[in-house]
Structure 1
Amino acid sequence: MTRGKGNRAPRWKWIAPVLALGVVLAAVHVWLNTNLVTGDAVCGGLVSTARADSVLSGGGRISDGDGPDVRPGDAVEFSCTVEASSFLPGADKGRLRISGTHERGDFAFTDGRWPSPATASFFSGPATGGVGRDHGWVLLPAGCAKAAPAIIEGYAPQGSDPTALAGLLTDVANRAAERAGCAPDRPLTAPGTLPAVPAAQKIPEDAVCGIKGLAFPGPAAGREAARQRVQGRTGPTWACEVSGHATYAVTREPRVLEAITTSPGFGEQPRIAGLRVSGFDERHVVADCSGTPTYFSMELGPTYTAALESPDTPSPKAVFADFVTTAGKNFGCSTTAP
């Protein structure tokens, strides 16, 4: 009996340190690899850690480095980088870049840093925005506009869930509007689902972009190699990209039209296809179509631009006029008397 009791003391001598080490390792794991001690928001309270985690979806601790970079005198404008880091073997570091900016109202349909509208999933209603494969935006309420409409913009890792990104950006928009004192009576609501990005397809003989009578935007010889994507066949925003040649877009989304028509530089433009139009230039315009403001835009691709010297390449003015004429028939557009 005495000898049995004597064996217990050495056993506890090594069990106690092992338990203590386990507690320390568990605490380190919680600190480095989870958000239990991070709080429920980063970037000065603008970005929910839960929402960020749903987009990054790789696990790890959500952090924001030095926090948001805020522009003095403008409560809407900021930028912030959010990271999910983990010390677990095989874990990747995920990163989000979130910002609040002021943009021209038709920014989503112009060349530059924005995804092609034919590869973006648009949503409207309680929240208005669009999400591409790694980039998205949400309009802030009209009361948040200053010199130009205000948006929340976000970049996410490729392959992120687009619906989760739309939810994150909508949540940030609500928080930013609340902070800036321009929040609406009811908060913006993110979409539960998003339309899929269309696959590229051969161009049918009788209907470029699905529009009867629309001419191919370039020399006929380039038609066979080109492919098209058509997005938004049933929603208020429609877009078509003819690879290398042109990207067309039409929207009647009320919030987007409001943003466009209240932007600096919006004004009367020369008639197009007999229509009286206003806009920013000759290829980004709004027409009155059966009483509904309707925005038309066209961006030209490098293949078309390279073929401009070819005698069978239609001019940009002719290509856009053809688009407005043929697409406009679907929206009740007609010539307005002078």
Structure 2
Amino acid sequence: MTQGKGNRAPRWKWIAPVLALGVVFAALHVWLNTNLFAGDDLCGGLVSAARADSVLSGGGRISDGGGQDGRTGEAWEFSCTVESSSFLPGAGKGHLRISGTHERGDFAFTDGRWPTPATVSFFSGPVTGGVGRDHGWVLLPVGCAKTAPAIIEGYAPQGSDPTALAGLLTDVANRAAERAGCAPERPLTAPGTLPAAPAAQKVPADAVCGIEGLAFPGPVAGRKAARQTVQERTGPTWACEVSGHASFAVTREPRVLEAITSSPGFGEQPRIAGLRVSGFDRRHVVADCSGTPTYFSMEPGPTYTAALESPDTPSPGAVFADFVATAGKSFGCSATTP
């Protein structure tokens, strides 16, 4: 019996260190690979770690590095990078870039860093915004910006859940508005679901972008190889892209129209398709259609631009006028007398 009891001591000598090492590794795993015991506020309190984690969805610890950058401006203006990191084998880093910034009111329908409108899921109501494959935005509440309209913008990894990104940006907008003292009585509410982006399809012979009578934006010979991405007309914003040729958009969303008409540089433009219009230039205009302000835009594509010298290629002005005339019929737009 004494000998048996004596054999237990050496066994415990190696079991205890193994247990202790296991506790250390477990603690390191929790600290390095999860957000347990970490604070929820990032970027100076403007970004929720839980919301960011729902977008990154790759596991790991969420952090904001040094927090906000040194940008100055209005209280809601900021820029910050949030990332998830993990030491688990095969785990990579995920990044979110979030900022509060000024933009021209029709930024979402212009060339530049913004996704093609036809690929964006737009939403309006308690909050107005749009989310693409890896990029989204929401408008800040009225009164937050003193000059140009204000937005919260976010870049996310491709394949991120668009509804989660919309929720994150809406939450950031509420926090930024609170900080700036321009929050509405009721907080902005993120959409519960978002419409899926449509798939590209062949351009039919009778209705480019689903609009009867709309001419093909380019040489007739290029129509057969072109593809179009057309959104359904289920909301106040509609868009279509004819690959390489042109991107069209129409919106009657009240907050977007308010942002457009209050932007610097917005003013009266020459008539288009017999309509009195105001806007920023000849391809980004607002018309009064049966008493409702209606915005029309067109962005030429590289294939169309390269073919402008071809004799059967209509000019950008002619294409846009044709678009306003044909699309405008379904919105009650009609030419007015001088």
2:166 counterpart letter in structure 1: A
Give the match's secondary structure for 1:270: strand
Partner residue, 1:178: 178
Partner residue, 2:194: 194
2:310 counterpart letter in structure 1: S
2:71 counterpart letter in structure 1: R
- In the superposition, the TM-score normalised over structure 2's length comes to 0.98
Structure 1 Cα separation of the partners of residues 69 and 128 of structure 2: 25
Structure 2 Cα separation of the partners of residues 31 and 196 of structure 1: 37
Quote the offset at 1:186 in angstroms.
Answer: 0.7
Partner residue, 2:65: 65
Distance 1:35 1:250, change over 3 A: same
Quote the offset at 1:42 in angstroms.
Answer: 0.9
Structure 2 Cα separation of the partners of residues 28 and 316 of structure 1: 61
Counterpart check, 1:125 vs 2:122: no
Counterpart check, 1:29 vs 2:29: yes
Partner residue, 1:211: 211
Structure 2 Cα separation of the partners of residues 314 and 11 of structure 1: 88
Partner residue, 2:81: 81
Kept in 2: contact 1:38–1:63 (CA 8 A): no
Counterpart check, 1:335 vs 2:330: no
Quote the offset at 1:188 in angstroms.
Answer: 0.8
Partner residue, 1:275: 275
The alignment-based identity, stated in percent, is 88
After TM superposition, the structure 1 = structure 2 runs for residues 226-265 of structure 1, keeping only pairs within 5 Å, are: 226-265=226-265
Structure 1 Cα separation of the partners of residues 143 and 273 of structure 2: 35
Q: How many residues align?
A: 338
Partner residue, 2:299: 299
Quote the offset at 1:300 in angstroms.
Answer: 0.2
Task: Kindly provide the CA deviation profile for residues 141-176 of structure 1, in whole angstroms up to 9, marking residues without a partner as x.
Answer: 111112211101111111111111111111111111
Structure 2 Cα separation of the partners of residues 73 and 294 of structure 1: 32
2:153 counterpart letter in structure 1: E
Structure 2 Cα separation of the partners of residues 75 and 327 of structure 1: 41
Quote the offset at 1:232 in angstroms.
Answer: 3.9
1:287 counterpart letter in structure 2: A
Task: Kindly provide the CA deviation profile for residues 224-283 of structure 1, in whole angstroms up to 9, marking residues without a partner as x.
Answer: 111100124211000010111110000000110010010000111001011000000010
Task: Kindly provide the CA deviation profile for residues 50-77 of structure 1, in whole angstroms up to 9, marking residues without a partner as x.
Answer: 1111111110000111111153232121
User: Where has structure 1 moved over 6 Å in runs of 4 or more?
Assistant: none
Instruction: Say which is worse superposed, 63-72 or 47-56, in terms of deviation.
Output: 63-72
2:209 counterpart letter in structure 1: C
Task: Kindly provide the CA deviation profile for residues 8-36 of structure 1, in whole angstroms up to 9, marking residues without a partner as x.
Answer: 22122112111111111111111101111
Q: CA RMSD in A?
A: 0.9
Structure 1: tracts of 5 or more residues without a match: none
1:193 counterpart letter in structure 2: T
Structure 1 Cα separation of the partners of residues 147 and 26 of structure 2: 51
Kept in 2: contact 1:70–1:77 (CA 8 A): no
Give the match's secondary structure for 1:21: helix
Counterpart check, 1:290 vs 2:294: no
Structure 2 Cα separation of the partners of residues 36 and 193 of structure 1: 28
2:316 counterpart letter in structure 1: P
Instruction: Say which is worse superposed, 14-23 or 108-117, in terms of deviation.
Output: 14-23
Quote the offset at 1:37 in angstroms.
Answer: 2.5
After TM superposition, the structure 1 = structure 2 runs for residues 46-65 of structure 1, keeping only pairs within 5 Å, are: 46-65=46-65
Structure 2 Cα separation of the partners of residues 38 and 68 of structure 1: 18
2:9 counterpart letter in structure 1: A
Give the match's secondary structure for 1:144: coil
1:106 counterpart letter in structure 2: D
After TM superposition, the structure 1 = structure 2 runs for residues 108-147 of structure 1, keeping only pairs within 5 Å, are: 108-147=108-147
Instruction: Say which is worse superposed, 105-114 or 222-231, in terms of deviation.
Output: 222-231
- In the superposition, the TM-score normalised over structure 1's length comes to 0.98
Structure 2: tracts of 5 or more residues without a match: none
Instruction: Say which is worse superposed, 61-70 or 322-331, in terms of deviation.
Output: 61-70
Kept in 2: contact 1:163–1:192 (CA 8 A): yes
